[in-house]
Amino acid sequence: MPMPGRSAQRGWLGLIALLIALVIVAVLAQTVLRSYGLLGDGERAATSGRAEPAAARPVEDHAARGAPPVTAPMEPARALERDLRRDAQDLDRRIDDQTK
């Protein structure tokens, strides 16, 4: 009975390589999702050693921390918009001064 050669085993090696690559991608995706806050609290999960979904946290925890500041992310955008409008007005004024 002839033993299978290397060519018969290439399929298994490829399958194992794909599974290892899939595990690596899954771990990286989980890390990225945690860092973006889409998979739970990344800092809390990293410090406690176990993952705990945000919905599983007690309500008191949310109330103790207070409501997240809704306007905080908008402030830099508003400041940028003000700066752009001011710069555009300055540019318009300079163009008008040059065309007179």
Q: Residue 4: inside a domain, yes or no?
A: no
Q: Quote the DSSP letter at residue 51.
A: -
Q: Are residues 98 and 75 in the same domain?
A: yes
Q: Residue 75: inside a domain, yes or no?
A: yes
Q: How far apart are alpha carbons 80 and 85 in whole angstroms?
A: 9
Q: Residue 1: inside a domain, yes or no?
A: no
Residue type, 85: R
Q: Residue 64: inside a domain, yes or no?
A: no
* Domain enclosing residue 35, as ranges: 9-55
- pLDDT tens for the 100 residues of the chain, in order: 566 666 666 678 889 999 999 999 999 999 998 888 887 754 554 555 555 555 555 555 555 566 655 667 788 888 899 999 999 999 999 999 998 8
CB atoms under 10 Å from CB of 28, counted, come to 10
Q: Are residues 51 and 74 in the same domain?
A: no
The structure's pTM equals: 0.35
Count of domains observed in the chain? 2
Dihedral angle computed from the Cα positions of residues 78, 84, 88 and 89, in that order, rounded to the nearest 10 degrees: 40
CB atoms under 10 Å from CB of 92, counted, come to 10
Q: Residue 65: inside a domain, yes or no?
A: no
